[in-house]
Amino acid sequence: MGYHQKQQNLSKTLQQDLLPLVLVLRSPSVPPFFFFKSQLQAHFNLLDPLDSSEPTHSFLPRHASSVLALLCVGSTTVSSETLSLLPSVKLVVASSAGIDHIDLQECHRRGIAVTSAGQVFSEDVADFAVGLLIDVLRRVSASDGYVRSGFWVAKGPYPLGLKLGGKRVGILGLGRIGSEVAKRLVAFGCNIAYCSRKEKPFVPYPYYSTVVDLATNSDALILCCSLTKETRHIINRSVMEALGKEGVIINIGRGALIDEKELVKFLVQGRIGGAGLDVHENEPHVPQELFAMENVVLTPHAAVYTP
């Protein structure tokens, strides 16, 4: 390496050292070059434990005094144990809209500010939710597989799908994403109802105070609420029974909103009509019983991912 090249590399290193230090927390399933890393590197010195051969439990304390901000990529857990290794942290930034994977109680106790992607993803997630509903009802993915497998030639026309227009769609969680979903489905001629923590005074859709009542009066449920202690497994046996054997569940919230074992039972037994699942209770693991079901559409927690 020539003298000038060494000087340029040294200059780059010094410039990088002058940038604010941000600790990156990501699970091993998140690639080291996650999609917005290059933009961040222009403004911050990113410190990534998974880029080091040093174990995380020793890596974090070694940098603890200099780390003021922590970037949580995806749904990587930020636990009280992790925070205890970082006594100087003042800010936790989640790249996701949901923050159920962050120990908010511990952050509050220590005066750590927490922020998320907010409404950045709302329109993209709403588009995806509607896409999943159309896919399940019209069996787009299943009929694609039918053609690719040569069955159109061998077996003839594919069975009929179900019409979207006129469907009663219940939205669980009429926040930013839920409102965008409702707006899109109104344009398709669907009848919207919702269930939220509180009735919203200026919303034109019927309100149900319980999920069971919402399911009883819906042909499809779209889950848009956040995951909390109160909403964990909020879609349980009673809700699925109320939805009925023609009903469809779409989940773009969090996997644990649904009692997944019960959902598998209901689908296997034909006690609900279908499901479109972008999120799963034990990601990236998905119950294998769902793989062969043509009335189930599975995606890899991808609703937010557009450029």
User: Which are the catalytic amino acids?
Assistant: 254, 283, 301
SS3 state of residue 168: strand
* 4 contact partners, CB below 8 Å, separation of at least 6: none
* 19 contact partners, CB below 8 Å, separation of at least 6: 43, 44, 45
- Three-state SS string over 27-66 comes to CCCCCCCCCCHHHHHCCCEEECHHHCCCCHHHHHHHHHHH
269 closest CA partner among 240, 249, 297, 242: 240
Residue 36 belongs to what H/E stretch?
A: none
**CA atoms of 92 and 106, how far apart (whole Å):** 12
